[in-house]
Chain A
Amino acid sequence: MDRAKTTTLTGAEIVVRCLQEEGVEYVFGYPGGAVLFIYDELFKQDKVKHVLVRHEQGAVHAADGYSRSSRKVGVALVTSGPGVTNAVTGIATAYMDSIPLVVITGQVPTQAIGLDAFQECDTVGITRPIVKHNFLVKNVADLASTIKKAFHIAATGRPGPVVVDIPKDVTQHACEFHYPDTVHMRSYNPVRKGHAGQIKKAVQLLLDAERPFVYTGGGVVLSDASVELRELVKQLGFPCTNTLMGLGAYPATDRQFLGMLGMHGTYEANMAMQHCDVLLAIGARFDDRVIGNPAHFAQNPRKIVHIDIDPSSISKRVKVDVPIVGNIPDVLEDLLKLLKGSRGKDISAWWKQIDGWRAKDCLRYDRKSPIIKPQFVLEKLYEVTRGEAFVTSDVGQHQMWAAQFYKFNEPRRWINSGGLGTMGFGLPAAMGVQLANRGATVACVTGESSIQMCLQELSTCKQYRLPIKIINLNNKYMGMVRQWQEFFHGNRYSESYMDALPDFVKLAEGYGHRGVLVDKPGDVEPVLREAFAAKNDLVFLDFITDQKENVYPMVPGGKGITEMILYEDL
C-alpha cells in the first residue's frame, strides 16, 4: 500500500496514469492540438498502447468493438472540435447499444471556453443526449477522481459511453496524484438483486405456462448471463429467441432456439412471440424493430415477465405484468434456485405448433442460382470458420443475412450496430475485436456501400497487422434501401444504385492487403478457405452477388410481427 506516498503529476501524466491504473491495454485515438500533452505522455511509456486510426469515427468504433468482444471498457482519445464531432457517430452508436466506453476529448484552454476559440465546440452539450454521462474537468485536482468515476459509470448498471472533456491547460497544470480505489456517488447506485417477491411471481407464471416463450436481448450478452440463460431454458424446456443484439446468448444450433425474431426474424420466432401465453423477456426492450406495432402485439393476451437492469426499459412500449429490475445473472440465479426440482406443464402441444411453423423453412433461398446468393456466402462463411469466428457487420441486407445464417453459439461473437444502425461500423469494430482477441478469426461482413464509410481504416489494419477477413457482399446497390424501394416505393430506386464503384481488389492492394474478386458460386468456398488459411493477412473478398435478392421474412414498418412478407408469397 503506497497510498500515503503521493506524487505531483501534470494533468496529462494523470490521464495516462489513470489509464494504467484501470488496466487499459489499448487507446484508440487521433492527435491534435488540445491533446498534445496527453500524447506526449503516451509517448513516454509503453504500458498503454495507442492505436492510431485514420478518422475519429473509427477510433470510437474500434474501442466499441474491443469492448463488445472483451467485456472491458473501450477507450478512445480525440482532440477538440472536429475530433469530437467526428467521434459523435461512434459515441451515439455505443450509446444505443449500451457499450461501456470512456471517450477522452481535448478541449480548448479553460480561459478560451465560450469565446469561439480555434477548434472549440461545446463537447458536453453536443454529446449530452448520446452518452450515459459526461464531464468537463475544469480543475486538475478533479481529474483522477473524474476518470475513476467515468470508468465506474461506463461499466456498471446499464453500461454506456462516458465522455471526459479535458481543457488543454488542465493537462498542463499539476497536482498531487491519488487514484481512488472506490467510487461513492449518492446519486448513482445501480441495483443488483431482483425483488424476491417478483421473482416468486415469475416462477409461478413460468410453471403454469402452456405456451411459454423466452425472448432475450443484448442485456444478456452485456451482463454475461449466457450460462444462466442456457441453464434456465434447458431446465424449463422452453423455446427461446434472441434479438439482433442478443445473438449467441443462447446457442443457435440448439433445438430449443427458434432463430432471431423481429423485422427480419424467422417465421417461427415471430409466430411464437405473438401466440405465447407467458413471455419471459430478459435484457430486451420490445423496440420497434422487434415487436413492430405494439397495438398489434397487444391483440393476443399473454403474461409478461420482464427482467432488466434499467427500469426505464420496462413498460416503455409494452405493458408488463411482472417487472424485475436487477442484474440479469443475479436474477436468473435466484430464479433457478426457486425453480429447483419443479417441472412446468406439459408443453408438447406448443412444441408441435412451433414445429409446424418451422416447417415453413422461412429462410429458404434459391440454391441453384448461377449468380452468387449472399445467403450462400454466409452459410459457407459459417462452415469454413466452423462457427467460431468473431463476425462484425455493417448495416443493411448483409447484416440481416449474417444474423440469420451465421449460427452463433457463443455470446460476444456477433458484433453489429443494432440500435443506431451505423454504416461504417464493421471495419473499425473488427480492428478492436482483433486487438482484443489476437490470433482469433475475425470476419467483417459488409456491403459495397457500407465499407466505403470507414474504408480509410484499411490503412490502420496494415499498420497494426490486423488479419481481418472482409466479406464484401457487393450487389452494387444500397441493398436494404433498394429493398424498401421495391416493396414500398413502386420500384423507384431513387439514389440507391452505386455507380462508379472502385475496383475493390486494387483498392485493397493499394492499402497493402490482398484482394480477391469472386463472381461464381463454385468459387465461394475455396476462396473462403484460402483466405481464412492466410492467418497473417487481411484479405478483402469482393463477392459479386445477386442485385435483386431480398431479405425474408420481412415485417413492414408499423405492422404486426406476424404480418410477414415471406419468400413464398412472391
Chain B
Amino acid sequence: MRHIISILVENEAGALSRIAGLFSARGYNIETLTVAPTEDASMSRMTIVTSGSEDVIEQITKQLNKLIEVVKVIDLSEAEHIERELMLIKVRAGQKEREDMKRMADIFRGRVIDVSDNTYTIELTGDTRKLDAFIQALDQGAIIETVRTGASGIGRGNRVLRV
C-alpha cells in the first residue's frame, strides 16, 4: 500500500542523510522525497511517499520518531489529505503539433511556460496520478524531458502537523 508520510525535522546539517540512511539501512522504499524549510526556519518539512504492509509502515513511523532530530511524524494517508506534485515537461511542439499540445495542456490545466521554435515546456501540478495520466495521454515520442518534484502533502481541514 502506498503511504504518504509527513515529517517535521530540525533544520540541521545531516538530518536528511539520517532519514535517507534509515530508509536504505532498513530496506524501506522511497518513491519520492521532498524537503524544504517551513515558516519557522529552524524546522524543515519532509514528505516521503513510500509503500509497504501495515507492519512496515508502523515500523517506518516508529523508526522515524526515534531519530533525535525528528520532531513529529504523521502518516497523511491515514485520513483525508491533499497531495500535490509539480511537473515540468518539455515536449516537441513544431508548427504541426502546437495546437494539439496546447489543447492537451489545457485539458489538464497545465500552463505553457516556455516556448521555442520546436518545443513547449509545460508546467503541471496535481496529484501523482494526474501527472502520470498526462504523460500517458501524450504521444510518447513527443516527450523530450520531464522533471517532477515528488509529492507534497497536507491534511484536510483541521488536521495539522505543527509543534
Contact = CB atoms under 8 A, between A and B. Distances in A.
Interface in B62-80: 62-63, 65-66, 68-71
Interface stretch (B12-20, B96-104, B138-146): B12-20
B18 A136 contact: no
Contact of B59 (A136, A153, A312): A312
Contacts of B59: 312, 316
A356 B64 CA distance: 46
B58 interface: yes
B45 to A, nearest CB: 13
Interface in A122-146: 124-125, 128-129, 132-133, 136
A310 B62 CA distance: 9
B63 A312 contact: yes
Contact of A128 (B17, B55, B58): B17
B62 A124 contact: no
A187 B14 contact: no
A188 B14 contact: no
Contacts of B14: 124, 128, 136
A180 interface: no
B62 to A, nearest CB: 4
B63 A315 contact: no
Contacts of B65: 311-312
A312 B62 contact: yes
Nearest to B72: A187
Contacts of A124: 14
Given A124-B14, A129-B21, A312 B66 contact: yes
Nearest to B70: A187
Interface string B5-36: 00001100110011001000100000000000
Given A129-B25, A136-B14, A315 B68 contact: no
A187 B67 CA distance: 9
B163 interface: yes
Contacts of A312: 59, 62-63, 65-66
Contacts of B55: 315
A187 B18 CA distance: 14
Contacts of A316: 59
A312 B64 CA distance: 9
B13 A136 contact: yes
A337 interface: no
Interface residues of A, number: 17
Interface string A275-310: 000000000000000000000000000000000001
Given A186-B163, A187-B10, A311 B62 contact: yes
Contacts of A4: none
B11 to A, nearest CB: 11
Interface string A158-186: 00000000000000000000000000011
Nearest to A157: B66
A129 B66 CA distance: 13
Looking at A124, A186, A310, the one whose CB has the most chain B CB atoms below 10 A away is: A186
Contacts of B58: 315
Nearest to A153: B68
Looking at A129, A187, A188, the one whose CB has the most chain B CB atoms below 10 A away is: A187
Contacts of B68: 132-133, 153, 185, 187-188
A310 B65 CA distance: 10
A316 B66 CA distance: 14
A363 B66 CA distance: 40
A302 B42 CA distance: 47
Interface in B37-75: 55, 58-59, 62-63, 65-66, 68-71
A125 B17 contact: yes
Contacts of B62: 311-312
A125 B69 CA distance: 16
Contacts of A125: 17
Interface string A33-51: 0000000000000000000
B25 to A, nearest CB: 5
Contacts of A133: 68
A187 B66 contact: no
A59 B109 CA distance: 63
Interface string B120-137: 000000000000000000
Interface string A198-236: 000000000000000000000000000000000000000
Given A128-B18, A312-B59, A315-B58, A187 B69 contact: yes
Contacts of B63: 312
B119 to A, nearest CB: 39
B63 to A, nearest CB: 5
A185 B9 CA distance: 12
B157 to A, nearest CB: 25
A389 B21 CA distance: 41
A147 B91 CA distance: 55
Contacts of A153: 68
A239 B32 CA distance: 49
Contacts of B66: 310-312
Interface pairs A-B: 3 shortest CB-CB: A312-B62, A133-B68, A187-B71
12 contacts: A124-B14, A128-B14, A136-B13, A136-B14, A187-B68, A310-B66, A311-B66, A312-B59, A312-B62, A312-B63, A312-B66, A315-B55
Interface of B: 9-10, 13-14, 17-18, 21, 25, 55, 58-59, 62-63, 65-66, 68-71, 163
Given A124-B14, A187-B9, A311-B65, 13 more contacts: A128-B21, A133-B68, A136-B13, A153-B68, A186-B71, A187-B10, A187-B68, A187-B69, A187-B70, A188-B68, A310-B66, A312-B65, A312-B66
